[in-house]
Amino acid sequence: MDKLKKNNIIFSIILAIIVLTISYIVSSIHDKNITKEKAATAAIEHIKKKENIDVIVTKVDIRPAVSGGMIRVSGHVKDQKNRKFFVSISKRQNYSVVGWGLDHLES
């Protein structure tokens, strides 16, 4: 009986570790997706406000926390794929825009 009880305890501990690990991974992925959505929204609103154009986000790159929690959002102007943009956003400063650029290429 002692051996069975010991095996049950070990099994319970292993199961708890697995559940906690999976929960952490799911939470991290969810947080990363929310960060990307907030950054993309901030970038779209900023370009719309400054240039009065609609843009399509094609890439959101989250930099490591060591680099200040910066997020780089890039894409192109809607219906004009030759006009590219980027927006640098600071997550630490409540998703504020710290730099941006719009490439006005001539057709």
Q: Closest Cα to residue 89, out of 104, 71, 107, 68?
A: 71
Using the predicted structure, report yes or no on whether residue 105 has a pLDDT greater than 70: no
Given this model, what pLDDT does residue 1 score?
Answer: 63
Report the pLDDT averaged over residues 6-26: 97
pTM score above 0.95: no
Q: Which band of pLDDT confidence, cut at 50, 70 and 90, is reported for residue 66?
A: confident
Q: What is the pLDDT of residues 69-87, one digit of tens each?
A: 899 999 999 999 999 999 9
Using the predicted structure, report yes or no on whether residue 48 has a pLDDT greater than 60: yes
Structure tokens at 16: 């708890």
* Structural element, H or E, at residue 16: helix 2-51
